Every structure is written in structure tokens, then in C-alpha cells.
Amino acid sequence: MDINATAPQQPEPAPIPETESFRCPNCGGTMKWSIPRQVFECVSCRTPGEVQTASDAVFEHPFEGYFQRVESEIAFPEQSFVVCQNCGAEVVFGETQTAAVCPMCSSSQVNLQKQVAGVPPDGIIPFKVDKPQAQENFKKWVKTRWFAPNKLKEAYQQGKLDGVYLPFWTFDADAEASYTGQGGKYVTRTDSEGKTYTETVWTPVSGHISASYDDIQVCAAQERAQQVIDSVLPYNTSVGSNPYAGAYLSGFEAERYAFGADQGVELAKQTMERDLHNKAEWDIQGMGYDTANVFTLNAQYHNIRYKHMLLPAWLSAFAFGGKQYLYVINGETGKVGGQRPYSIPKIIAACLVALAVVLFFILFFNDAEAAVPPPEAAMAQAADTVQQENVDRLDALLGEDGAEQGP
């Protein structure tokens, strides 16, 4: 199956399923994506089910047709979502989920909303890390946070993790750039006093570079999630994606994108431009220079393609000290990241311990120095000792001579 197929210039709208109710045909139980078994099955009798997708591939769309899709399609057909009045997140809830608490900020201020226009997901990476494994990874991560408050540790002990599919835009592009800069060569010279030193001799340079990019990932979640998601990237969207189907959301939640691909493509261009800047420096060094500076970089992007992806994450949000903190575990790889509060009592205790250690060594070395005389005093003491020994020997010899000459 072609994972990243290129969509036609004017793709036909995908058929909308009549219902998003996932019931077991055998026992009537709930059908859900099994993370350990990586199959869609009944949670009661484990009867396997089939994930109905609208296509056989994850299509990449030409960026030129983006605004037409926004106006003509529905973001999440046949599914309702809620809007958090606290942080603004728009979250789609699976059939078995309730809309009681926002997974982004733990607020209960959520309101049910109707469907809205937008670009539906093109692909999804199903959860591969289950909640127990995410809890274990979170536990190990927390233990490495030396100054974390106890409430953070309580978060993983109480199992406060929500499975959420986060919205991403991915972009492909062909890029080229002309640049100007300077190349430097290290030259060793000798001054009038015979001392050697190294200086850099700079030469103006210019050049042209090109590159192709595949699946530049831009998180389109609310800002709070964006602040922590970079620490757990990347996802394997190039080969690990499945065509989107609402069945994957059964038992989970999904956030609607907070900004469109038109804003996402500008963020992707920033990522590509940073890479082009590095490539320009490497290009200059390839001319035989030891170091390089790039002054100007004029980049152009061609054949831009995009897709809307839902990527799995386990989230834990809680308040501490009047602030909200969010932690995320990559639902595909298990990597953990997040914001961290600091426990002031623990920091003070650590500072006091460090101060005690420093004072101990200061006192120890002062006592040692007092016990051992300085080198000058030791040399003088040794000289006095040698001189006294010589005097004692001379007195002994004189005494012996005097005894022999006596009457």
C-alpha cells in the first residue's frame, strides 16, 4: 500500500459514514483499537472487526487547493466535539469517551459544539504504546526530575493520563536557495617575540544549494501542547501512517487543529530555512574553508504538498503553584517530555547540603594546612636540625680527644 500517495488535483470528497457507532456484531459490546494486539476488536469478547477507511492510501494534497478543501469539507464528519472555555482546545471525543474534562488543561469548563467546516484527517498513526507502558515511562522520567514537587509524582501514581490524538500538518517541498557569506581559513603566525598565534582570514563567497524535504511535522494543537510536543518528536509519519478512520478514535480523544495549513506551511518553511542555512555553511566549508558565515539566504519552495495527520500522545495536565503544567508521552515511541515545576523546599535543602559540603572541605583543608608548616618554615627547621646535629658531633669528637690527652 502506498502510504504517501499524491492526491489528484481535485480529489472527490470522501464518503461520509452514516454512523460512528462501533458495536460488536457478536455480543453488542464496544469495538476499540487494541494497543497490545494492534487490531480493532471487541473489548468484551475480542471478536475482530474491520476498520473502514475511505481510501487505501494516505493522500498528500497540493497546497494550491488547500483553501478550497477548507470551505467544502467537514473536519470530523459524524462526530461531535467540545470547546474548552479555559484553554480554547477543541476536542473530538470517541464513542466511549465523555466530555467532562479537557485533556489539555484538566478544566471542566467544556461545551458541546456542532460540526464545523475544515480539512478532515488524511492519516493517523494508531497508538502503539499502551497506558501501563506510558505510566512506566512517565514514572522513570519523573524520577530523573530532582527538584520536582511531590504532586508531580502523585500524577503518575494516580494514573492521570489521557490518550489523545494530536493534530499535525506535514509538508513535502522542493527547496532551493542562493546565499552570500564568507569562508574563513585558520592561519598560524609568529609575532616579533617569537610567540605563535592563530587568526582567521576571511574571504567573501556566494553559492546556490537545493534540497528536498519529506514530512516536515508541524503540531497544530493548542499552544500549551505545542510548548512540550517538540521534546517527544519525531513521529514516523513517512511509513507508519494508516488512512484515517473514525474507528481509531473509539476509546480515545482527538483535538481539532488550532490553525490551518496556511499558517503551518510558514512554520515548516522556517524549519526548512534553518536546514538550508546549515547546508549553505557546509557548502562553503566544502570549498576548502575551515569555518563559514552565511549573511543572506534567499529560499524558494516548489511543489509543496501537505496532509492532515492525527498522531497519538498520552497527556497529563495538572495545576501547581497557580500554574498549569502539561506532560506528554509519544504514543508511538514512548518518549516523555513536558514542562516542569520546581519544588522550592527541595531546592533550598539541596543548597544547604551543598553549602555544608563546601564548608566541610574548607575547614578540612585549613586544618591540614595548619598541621603542615609552609615550605619555607620546613626548610628552615630542617637546616636548624642539621646544624644542631653537626654541633653535637663536633662536641662529641672534642670530648673524645680531651679524654685521651688527660693525665
How far is Cα of residue 309 from the mean position of the Cα atoms in its chain? 18
Query: Do 335 and 235 form a contact (C-beta atoms < 8 A)?
Result: no
Averaged confidence pLDDT in the chain: 79
Query: Do 300 and 283 form a contact (C-beta atoms < 8 A)?
Result: no
Query: Do 57 and 5 form a contact (C-beta atoms < 8 A)?
Result: yes
Residue 122 confidence class, pLDDT cut points 50, 70, 90: very high
Q: Is 204 exposed, middle or buried (0-12, 13-18, 19+ CB in 10 A)?
A: exposed
Residue 314 confidence class, pLDDT cut points 50, 70, 90: very high
* pLDDT at residue number 264: 97
- pLDDT at position 190 over 70: yes
DSSP 212-274: EEEEEEEE-S-HHHHHHHGGGPPP-TTTS-EE--GGGGTTSEEEPPSS-HHHHHHHHHHHHHH
pTM more than 0.75: no
Would you list the domain boundaries of the chain?
62-176+203-266+296-341, 342-372, 378-407
Residue 318 CB partners (closer than 8 Å, separation 6+): 106, 151, 152, 155, 160, 324, 325
* pLDDT at residue number 19: 36
Query: Do 39 and 48 form a contact (C-beta atoms < 8 A)?
Result: yes
* pLDDT at residue number 98: 43
Convert the pLDDT of each residue in 12-42 to its tens digit: 444 433 335 678 889 988 888 899 999 999 9
- pLDDT at position 402 over 50: no
Q: Hey, is 208 helix, strand or coil? A: strand
Alpha-carbon distance of 99 to 111, in angstroms, equals 8
* pLDDT at residue number 13: 42
* pLDDT at residue number 133: 93
* pLDDT at residue number 125: 96
Alpha-carbon distance of 162 to 253, in angstroms, equals 8
> Which stretch of DSSP H or E encloses residue 173?
strand 162-190
Question: Closest Cα to residue 222, out of 285, 166, 266?
Answer: 166
- pLDDT at position 158 over 80: no
Alpha-carbon distance of 208 to 282, in angstroms, equals 12
Convert the pLDDT of each residue in 230-255 to its tens digit: 999 999 998 889 999 888 888 888 88
The fraction of the chain above a pLDDT of 90, given in percent, is 41
Neighbours of 279 (CB within 10 A): 19
End-to-end CA distance of the chain: 128
- pLDDT at position 117 over 50: yes
- Among 13-17, 179-183, 230-234, 396-400, which is the least confidently predicted range? 13-17
Neighbours of 41 (CB within 10 A): 17
* pLDDT at residue number 148: 64
- Among 214-218, 356-360, 366-370, which is the least confidently predicted range? 366-370
Convert the pLDDT of each residue in 33-75 to its tens digit: 899 999 999 989 999 988 888 788 999 999 999 998 888 777 7
Inter-axis angle of helices 131-143 and 150-157, to 10 degrees? 160
- pLDDT at position 324 over 80: no
How far is Cα of residue 228 from the mean position of the Cα atoms in its chain? 7
Residue recorded with cell 481539532:
256
3-state helix/strand/coil string of 8-71: CCCCCCCCCCCCCCCECCCCCCEEEEECCCCEEEECCCCCECCCCCCCCCEEEEEHHHHHHHHH
- pLDDT at position 192 over 90: no
Residue 383 confidence class, pLDDT cut points 50, 70, 90: low
Q: Alpha helices of 46-173 — where are they, by DSSP H?
A: 66-72, 131-143, 150-157
**Residue that wins the pLDDT comparison between 275 and 380:** 275
- Among 116-120, 154-158, 292-296, which is the least confidently predicted range? 154-158
- pLDDT at position 336 over 80: yes
- C-alpha cell, 285: 566549508
Query: Do 182 and 205 form a contact (C-beta atoms < 8 A)?
Result: yes
Residue 201 confidence class, pLDDT cut points 50, 70, 90: very high
* pLDDT at residue number 56: 86
